[in-house]
Structure 1
Amino acid sequence: MADQMHILGPLALTVVLSSVIGLERELRRKLAGLRAHTLVGLGAAMFTLAGKYGFNDVVAPGLAVLNPAQMASQVITGIGFVGGGIIVVRHGSARGIITAASIWVVAAVGVTAGTGLWVLAVAAPWPTSWPRRCTRRSSTSCTAVTPSLRACA
């Protein structure tokens, strides 16, 4: 038990960072919010940590080689499949692309935190607060960031 306590650090970091992204989505009243993002990030981190530490007791040294990257690659594939299901195309327009992308980024945060790349994991949530484009050019709640990009208030 005591030898597994070091695993709690990456899990705690993942929960915090995934919650930051999920809270931003929740405040914008998007379908996938705080709980969904936190669960995806936590699951990705847990699978990554399981691939990194979980099989050491069943593998005899010299007989088999563990590749923790295989677990991470399966997380990427699975979340890509989930993200594809989030995107809905109707009448020539696609909805849910940003939600799918944010779920994918949260999974990446979990994988990077689980592998010990904490700086990379911490850097990931900040682009989610970048200005969004306004869908209506005449919207009064928009402020110009650049001549071609307007941020919604």
Structure 2
Amino acid sequence: MEWEVITNSETFIMTIRLIIAAALGGLVGVEREFHQHPAGFRTHLLVSVGSCLIMLLAFYGFQNYISGHNPETINFDPSRLAAYVVSGIGFLGAGTILVQGYTVRGLTTAASIWVVAGIGLTVGAGMYLPAIITTIIVILSLFLLGKIDFGFLMKRKKRFIYLVVEEGKSPLSNLIKVVESYSIEVKGIKTEKQKLFNDKSMIEYRLYVEYEDKEAIIYLADHLNKDEFVHQVYLDGK
């Protein structure tokens, strides 16, 4: 009898919902953490738990107030707080979006944060099955679909461009703008500091790019070779 009282208590219900929200949000965050995105395990867990807490507040936080007043004079709508969470979570998502030249990165992570907020709200409302199903769908889409290369549909080619530039003289953002001006998309970037060359500190940028026009990559190499601060330009030979 005592166990039934405990399990039916509001405190127990809220605790279980917060734990479930943390677990589901954390699962999505693990995938983002694995791929080294700006918002990882802790961010997704906190967003999910926070959303769940606000939903619990909407359901349970005003019961004492309502019980002490005439219900006919109170306009109570628990969905209001949920609506504020959904719209307000955008500032976190915006923080994960990076713009480099004409390329935008972080949109998927921003979307996952937004979905995790919805998962937390759903758990807070006691809808466990939809929250679990959504979590499974999100993880599968992030993990599996991220491995599928759709470039073959557009007949796009891939290769590395290696640039050795003088440190501090030619910003990476400017180089990316030049690359993208030739309709070449930068998909990945790696940097490595080189030894001094004629008393000058050098940096090697390795740009993993996608493109359609074969001649564009040649014109780009010619363009970069004319930059006084770019000391070396070479392709991976594919």
Scaled to the shorter chain, the TM-score interval is 0.7 to 0.9
Within the alignment, does 1:25 sit opposite 2:35 as a pair?
no
TM-score where L is the length of structure 1: 0.82
1:24–1:129 Cα contact (<8 Å) kept: no
Unaligned runs of 5+ in 2: 1-5, 160-238
Contact between 1:87 and 1:94, CA under 8 Å: does it hold in 2? Answer: yes
The answer to whether structure 1 residue 125 and structure 2 residue 135 are counterparts is yes
TM-score (norm 2): 0.54
Gaps of 5+ in 1: 140-153
Larger proportion of strand:
2
| Cα drift, residue 48 of structure 1 | 0.7
Per-residue deviation, 1:138: 5.4
Length, aligned pairs only: 139
Structure possessing the higher radius of gyration over alpha carbons:
2
Tell me which of the two structures has the higher relative contact order, counting C-alpha pairs closer than 8 angstroms and 6 or more residues apart.
1
Q: Which runs of 4+ in 1 moved over 3 A?
A: 133-139
Q: Give the Cα separation in 1 of the matches to 2:10 and 2:115.
A: 30
- Once the two structures are superposed, residues 88-119 of structure 1 have per-residue CA deviations (whole angstroms, 9 ceiling, x without a partner) of 22211101101101111110100011111111
Residue 93 of structure 1 is matched in structure 2 by 103
- Please tell me whether residue 105 in structure 1 is matched to residue 115 in structure 2: yes
SS in 2 for 1:57: helix
Once the two structures are superposed, residues 18-74 of structure 1 have per-residue CA deviations (whole angstroms, 9 ceiling, x without a partner) of 111011111111111111110000000000110111011123222203111000000
Q: Hey, what's the Cα distance between the residues in 1 that align with 2:38 and 2:119?
A: 20
Note closer, same or farther for the CA distance 1:62–1:4 as it changes in structure 2 (3 Å cut). farther
Between the aligned residues of both structures, percent identity stands at 33
Aligned-CA RMSD value: 2.0
